[in-house]
Amino acid sequence: MPRKTRVWVPDYYYHIGCRGNRKEDLFKDDHDFQLFLQLLQKVKAKTSFELASYCLMSNHYHLLLRSKKHPISKVMFLLNKQYADYYNKKYELTGHVFEKRYFDKLIGDRYGLLRISQYIHLNPVEAGLVKVGQSYPWSSYRDYLNAANSQLLNTKVILDCFPGGAMEKREGYKKFVEMEDQRLEVESVYE
């Protein structure tokens, strides 16, 4: 049976999720997390995608990205293939590392971008790993709260949804993310 054709609209961001095979860990130690981020940077240099948010959990990851030049499927193939090769070699395994093809959902408006970025950044909080999002090391949330520029991220697309200067925009996003009554219930991306 042929796979469903992926739809790619170059000017739109996509929420992308991918989980480890049999729900097993994709990232077993800090080096695995670090290497995945290095591969993300390497693939970004090759395909020129824009990354707005990310969160790496032990058995899955979330990305909010846009690719104007290359189909999302190419970006994801390069990323997942390189990580799978590394993972299988390091842990002396063969076969599938990822459960199935990645999940992707086109985000049609700025409010959708805000809500999905919020969902991504709250993943470790909702999973009970940390009390506050900025204490989780494998998420882009810290980049949104700090003035430092990340080579990996385009925070401008999210922060420009808030008024004021750079500091006010960061504070506005923090308040938005941490508002209890605004938390997004996203259907499981893996079903």
pLDDT in tens, 153-187: 999 999 999 999 999 999 999 999 988 655 555 44
> Distance (Å, rounded) from C-alpha 48 to C-alpha 10?
12
Domains of the chain: 13-182 (3.30.70.1290)
User: Do 62 and 16 touch, CB atoms closer than 8 A?
Assistant: yes
Give the predicted TM-score (pTM) of the model: 0.90
Cβ neighbourhood burial of 159 (10 Å; 0-12, 13-18, 19+): middle
Closest CA to 161 of 120, 112, 127: 112
Helix, coil or strand: residue 19 = strand
pLDDT in tens, 50-60: 999 999 999 99
Determine the pLDDT at residue 101. Answer: 86
